[in-house]
């Protein structure tokens, strides 16, 4: 029986994702002790304002009533942690449009492109798998759980692209060899992202902001 062209790809992706999950589970590092979970990190005023804007938009277009808006705003401005904030918009937007993302699960791109960005918490250790695909991590507006983040990356004919803000250093460690991936200098003591790679024809790229012109 002839299968429709391309119908095999979703099946291949599913098999690849299962294999990647099994591989990741076998090599997953122990949880980092002594650090608060992403949901336990303290919320900032900027985070509260992001949530407030979503709530006000939801009231404006009739998704929540004035009474619901006032109730949620009361919770919002008394909230202390990111976990307290995240639930306030869970029923208002799809997962990929949430103003705050506390998803610390591994990121896998199997025959596709997978992206994580926006306002999200980067766990102290994150597992990334790219098999014939590309994983893009945008850290420009992210919250780092630790000042040194370790990314355990398995790249099989795949790529990892990391977009960084100013003064975030990225290094790659493979077979006891350490290479700095930033082209621009960073301040002493800047946060570090350490990419540990298991690599089969894979590539790690870093996208940096434009270099600022020095004042004369």
Distance CA 188, CA 20 (A): 37
pLDDT score, position 1: 47
pTM metric for this prediction: 0.81
Distance CA 24, CA 214 (A): 44
Instruction: Return the half-sphere exposure (C-beta side, CA atoms, 13 A cut-off) of residue 211.
Output: 8
Read off the pLDDT of each residue in 1-15 and give the average, rounded to a whole number. Answer: 56
Q: Which tens digit of pLDDT belongs to each residue from 171-197?
A: 999 887 899 999 998 888 999 999 999
Question: Mean pLDDT across the chain, nearest whole number?
Answer: 86
**The pair of three-digit structure tokens given for residue 146, joined into one six-digit string:** 């630790």
Contact 130, 152 (CB under 8 A): no
Q: Single out the residue of 168, 164, 124 nearest to residue 144, CA to CA.
A: 124
Distance CA 101, CA 103 (A): 6
Distance CA 195, CA 125 (A): 10
Has residue 2 got a pLDDT over 70?
A: no
Distance CA 154, CA 132 (A): 11
């Amino acid at each position: 029986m002839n299968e429709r062209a391309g119908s095999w790809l979703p099946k291949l992706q599913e098999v690849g994702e299962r294999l990647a999950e099994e591989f990741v589970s076998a090599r997953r590092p122990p949880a980092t002790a002594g650090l608060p979970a992403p949901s336990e990190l303290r919320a900032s005023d900027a985070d509260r304002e992001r949530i407030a804007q979503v709530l006000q938009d939801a009231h404006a277009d009739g998704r929540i009533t004035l009474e619901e808006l006032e109730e949620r705003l009361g919770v919002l401005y008394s909230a202390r942690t990111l976990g307290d904030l995240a639930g306030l918009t869970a029923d208002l937007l799809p997962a990929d449009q949430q103003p705050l993302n506390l998803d610390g699960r591994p990121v896998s791109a199997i025959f596709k492109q997978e992206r994580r960005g926006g306002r999200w918490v980067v766990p102290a250790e994150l597992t990334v798998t790219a098999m014939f695909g590309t994983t893009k991590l945008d850290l420009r507006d992210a919250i780092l759980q630790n000042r040194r983040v370790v990314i355990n990356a398995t790249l099989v004919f795949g790529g990892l692209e990391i977009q960084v803000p100013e003064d975030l250093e990225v290094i790659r460690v493979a077979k006891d060899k350490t290479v700095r991936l930033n082209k621009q200098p960073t301040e002493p003591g800047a946060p570090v992202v350490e990419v540990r790679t298991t690599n089969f024809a894979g590539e790690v790229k870093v996208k940096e902001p434009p270099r600022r012109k020095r004042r004369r």
